[in-house]
């Protein structure tokens, strides 16, 4: 699956290191190369993400342990991390306005327990 520049690939071996290095707010999109909706959401995400938000993608076929650890049962799944730590699962339209509002709401609330 070809992915967008600016969206870094991660797996169970490097996710936590990359998130810790990134600091601030990061979004991790769990995808599958056979999922058409995943490809579309990834394209939209790179256009809709607010400035300064780091973007990562995890291919569940290559990172099955990571998908299990985060209880990813439906694709695409979008998760928000703050300063390298899990904060929330996001469920919103991937438009600039909706994504920004969802991130702000999630960050205003206490961090959810990591799955």
Query: Which tokens sit at 101?
Result: 């509002």
Share of the chain above pLDDT 70, in %: 96
User: Where in the sequence is the domain holding 62, given as residue range(s)?
Assistant: 7-108
Inside any domain, residue 56 = yes
How many independent structural domains does the chain possess?
Answer: 1
Inside any domain, residue 115 = no
Inside any domain, residue 49 = yes
The yes-or-no verdict on residue 5 having pLDDT over 70 is no
Between 20 and 5, residue with greater pLDDT: 20
Inside any domain, residue 113 = no
Residue 71, burial from CB neighbour count under 10 angstroms (0-12, 13-18, 19+): exposed
Entry pTM: 0.93
DSSP letter for each residue of 39-100: HHHHHHHHHHSPTT-EEEEEETTT-HHHHHHTT--SSSEEEEEETTEEEEEE-S--SHHHHH
Query: Which tokens sit at 50?
Result: 């607010």
Inside any domain, residue 2 = no
Inside any domain, residue 114 = no
Separation of alpha carbons 50 and 25, rounded Å: 10
Q: In which band, very low, low, confident or very high, does the pLDDT at 23 lie, cut at 50, 70 and 90?
A: confident
List, for residues 36-90, the tens digit of each pLDDT value: 999 999 999 999 999 999 999 999 999 999 999 999 999 999 999 999 999 999 9
CATH value at residue 62: 3.40.30.10
């Amino acid at each position: 699956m070809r992915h967008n520049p600016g969206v870094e690939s991660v797996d169970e071996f490097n996710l936590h290191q990359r998130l810790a290095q990134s600091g601030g707010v990061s979004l991790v999109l769990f995808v599958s190369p056979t999922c058409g909706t995943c490809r579309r959401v990834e394209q939209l995400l790179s256009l809709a993400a607010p400035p300064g938000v780091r973007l990562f993608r995890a291919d569940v076929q290559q990172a099955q342990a990571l998908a299990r650890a985060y209880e990813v049962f439906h694709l695409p799944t979008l998760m928000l991390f703050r300063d390298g730590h899990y904060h929330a699962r996001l469920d919103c339209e991937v438009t600039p306005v909706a994504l920004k509002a969802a991130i702000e709401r999630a960050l205003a609330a206490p961090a959810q327990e990591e799955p």
